[in-house]
A and B are shown apart, each in its own frame.
Chain A
C-alpha cells in the first residue's frame, strides 16, 4: 500500500552490495516480511515510530558523553528504526569464521607471552612484535586462567560489492557497544510488535548471562559466590552508560579504581562493612591506566599493585592484560598467517588487504595510489586520525604524508572498501546507507559463544563510509534469522 511512498527514490548505490535488494531490484527473500510489514505502515506511522524510539532512548538515559573543551555533553547514539537482517546461513559462516579467528588469536597471545614459537619460526617478524607499544613485557611468562586472554571480542566485519565478509578490525581489549545491541533490540520490540517472532529472529538476551557465567568460572577462589565487579573509569567515561547497564544486567557491583585496594597481592573493595575480597574484575579501563605502579604512573583510574595480584593468580582480569599486541593494526596483517600456523586451517574470514608504511615498497605503492587508500594510525581507534584518500584535498594528503614519514611504524593503509548498504529511514523515506557489523564473541572455559546478533553501525551521512559514533554514525538493530 505504502510501498511506493517508502521506496520511491531508493536507488541502490552502483558497485555496492545492497543488503535488501538484488541486482534487478527484486527484494532479497529474507527482507520480504519486513518490507510487507512496512508497506502497511504510512510514512506518518513510521515517523511516529522514529519519534517513539528517540523518546525511549532519552527517557532511559541511553547516552554517551562527548567532550567539547572539557565540558561533557550527553548525546544519544543515533538509532535507525529499520533492522538489518542477516540470514541463518550467512550467520553460520560468520560465526564459524569468528570462532576460528579468535581461537587463533588466543593461541597467539599465549604463545607471544610464553615461547614465541611464531616469531622463532619467522611467521611474524620480531620487530612487528617488539615495536608494538601494546606488547607488554610485564605479561611475559604470566599464566592466565584456562589460557584465555580474549574473553570478550568485538570483531568488525564489512562486506564488499560481492557480499563477501571481511574482517576490518579485531577488538580484543575493551570492546564497547554491546549495550546498544541489547537496547536496540528492546526498542525494536516496542516499535514493531510481533514482528520479531513472525520473522523468526533469534534472541540476543542471553549475552549478560553467558558473560556472567564465564566470569564466575574464572574465580581463583573456589567459593560458591565469588565477588565479581565491573571496573569503570567513572562517570566521565563516554561508555559509562554501558558500564551501568552491564553491571545491572549481571547483578555485579560497578566499581571505580578508588573503590579497590591491593593488600598482600589480593584485591579488595572498600565497603561500609570493611574490605571484601574481589575475585574477578571485568575491567573497562585500558591496560595503560590499570596499574599506576607498573604502567602509566599518572593514572588515577587504576588500582596500584593490581598487576602483582594478577600475576599471582589471586584475581582474574577480563580481558587479559596485554591483548593489544594481537589487535594492533600492524599485527592484523598476520592474523591469516596465525590461523594457518596454529590451526593448520585456511582462514574463513578474509582480511582487508593491508600495507605497512614502514615497508619501503609498500609505502611507495600506497603513496602512488593514495586516492584509493584509507590510511589509519595503528594506535588509534574510533575513526580518529584516519585519512580517506578519495575524500581528502591535496594539502591534507601532503600534511598526512609528512606525519607518516616521521614514524612510519604507526601507520597502515588499506584500499577503500566499499561497505555494503542497507535501507535506513531518512527524513520520511527509505534510503541506502553504508553499514558494518560487530558481533560480540564470548570465550569461556567451555568454548566460544557468539550471541546471534551484534551491533550494526551505519554511516548516516549520504555517501559517507565512516560508521563511528564519534564521526556521525548511528546504529541499527541486527537480526539473525533462525
Chain B
C-alpha cells in the first residue's frame, strides 16, 4: 500500500475520532453548565483541545455559546469540528478509489452538515444539545458505515490504529486535566457531580454504576478509565486495539519495521496491563499519564517514519 494512502486512512480516522470526543465533551459540559449556578468553568475543555492560552480564555469569556461556536464552527480554530472534518474529508478524497462510495458519501454528508451556514446561528439561538446531537449522529453513522463496508485489509487497520491512538490520547488528556486540580482543591474528591461529568463525557457513567456499588470514588474512576478492558474508552482497551490492528499489518510491512513497532506497542500494553490504581497513585498520576502519552506519541512518530515515509 502506498505510504500516502496509509497515512490518509490513519489521519482521516484520527480526525473523526477527535471530532467525536470534542462533540461529547461539549454536550456534557453544556448540560452541566445548566446545573451549576456559579463556578462552572469551560477552562478544562478549552485546555484539552486548544491548549493553555490565556488570551483565548479571555476572548471566549467562559460564555457557553461562544465556547461551543469556537469549538464547532470557527475556521480559525485548527481543532474546531469544521477544521478537522475538512481535513478528514480531504484525506478521504485522496484515497477515494480505496474506500467505497457509501463511506465517502457518509463523510461527505458530515462535511456538508458542518459546513451548513445556519449551524452557527442555531448554536447561538437554539438548544445547543439538539444541534450537537445532529453532529454526533453523523459520527455514529460514519462508524457504522465504516464497520459494515470497509474491506478487511490494511486500509482498515491503519484507520483503526489512528482511531484508537486518538482515543487513548483523549482519555489520558481528560484524566490529566480533571485530576490536576485535586492537589489544590481536595474538596473535589467528594464532589460527585464532578466525577459524574467526567464519566458522562466519556460515555462511561452507566458502566460505572454497574461496576461499582459504593458511589463515586476518584480511584474507581481512574481504574475504569485506565484499566477496564470492557470500557471502550479506557486506555487499555484502546491500546489493546492498537496492538490488534497493528498485528494485521505484518504482511504489509518490512520485517524490521514491523518488529520494532510491535515490540514497542507490546511493551506499552504490558506496562498498562500490570499497573494498579494503587501503584499509579504511589508513583504520581500525572507522571504516569505523561509517560503513557509520550509512548503513544512515540507510536505515532514511528508510524509516521516507518509506514508513512515521513522520516
Contacts and interface: CB of A to CB of B under 8 A. Distances in A.
A258 B309 CA distance: 10
Contacts of A254: 97
Interface size class of B (residues with CB under 8 A): 10 to 19
Interface stretch (A25-33, A264-272, A327-335): A264-272
Given A253-B2, A255-B2, A256-B4, A272 B249 contact: yes
Contacts of B101: 59-61
B2 A248 contact: no
B3 A234 contact: no
B96 interface: yes
B1 A271 contact: yes
A70 interface: no
Given A61-B101, A248-B97, A273 B4 contact: no
B4 A258 contact: yes
Nearest to A247: B97
Nearest to B309: A270
Residue of B6, B94, B154 with most partner-chain A CB within 10 A? B94
A272 B93 contact: no
A300 to B, nearest CB: 14
Contacts of A418: none
A240 B95 CA distance: 11
B90 A259 contact: no
Contacts of B270: none
A270 B3 contact: yes
A253 B252 CA distance: 16
Interface in A221-251: 234-235, 240, 244, 247-248
Contact of A259 (B2, B97, B253, B307): B2
B1 A272 contact: yes
A244 B4 CA distance: 15
B97 to A, nearest CB: 5
Interface string B126-137: 000000000000
B104 interface: yes
The residue among A60, A253, A259, A270 with the most chain B CB atoms within 10 A of its own CB is A270
A259 B4 contact: yes
A447 interface: no
Contacts of A247: 97
Interface string B222-253: 00000000000000000000000000010011
B190 interface: no
B254 A244 contact: no
Contacts of B4: 255-256, 258-259, 270
Contacts of A235: 90, 93-94
Contacts of B2: 253, 255, 259, 269-272
A248 B97 CA distance: 7
A322 to B, nearest CB: 28
Contact of B94 (A61, A234, A272, A273): A234
A274 interface: yes
Interface in B181-207: none
A61 B102 CA distance: 12
B32 to A, nearest CB: 38
Contacts of B309: 270
A271 B6 CA distance: 8
A258 B310 CA distance: 10
A interface secondary structure, majority: mixed
Contact of B307 (A240, A258, A272): A272
A272 B97 contact: no
A271 B309 CA distance: 8
Contacts of A270: 2-4, 309
Contacts of B90: 235
A277 to B, nearest CB: 14
Interface string A250-293: 00011110110000000001111110000000000000000000
A59 B101 CA distance: 9
Contacts of B253: 272-273
A234 B97 CA distance: 13
Contacts of B6: 272
B158 to A, nearest CB: 8
B3 A61 contact: no
A273 B252 contact: yes
Contacts of B249: 272
Interface in B68-90: 90
Which residue of A247, A254, A271 has the most chain B CB atoms within 10 A of its CB atom? A271
Instruction: Point out which of B1, B253, B309 has the most chain A C-beta atoms below 10 A from its C-beta.
Output: B309
Nearest to A256: B4
Interface in A423-471: none
Interface in B1-18: 1-4, 6
A61 B93 CA distance: 11
Contacts of A256: 4, 94
A61 B104 contact: yes
Contacts of A269: 2
A340 B93 CA distance: 48
Contacts of A240: 93
A231 B70 CA distance: 39
Nearest to A248: B97
Contacts of B97: 244, 247-248, 254
A273 B96 CA distance: 21
Contacts of A244: 96-97
Residue among A59, A247, A258, A272 facing the most chain B CB atoms (10 A cut-off): A272
Contacts of B3: 259, 270-272
A273 B257 CA distance: 9
A254 B93 CA distance: 12
Interface in A187-241: 234-235, 240
A266 to B, nearest CB: 16
Contacts of B94: 234-235, 256
Contacts of A61: 96, 101, 104
A25 B104 CA distance: 49
9 contacts: A59-B101, A61-B96, A235-B90, A240-B93, A247-B97, A259-B4, A269-B2, A271-B3, A273-B254
Which are the 8 A-B pairs with shortest beta-carbon distances?
Answer: A270-B309, A270-B3, A235-B93, A244-B97, A272-B307, A274-B254, A259-B4, A272-B1
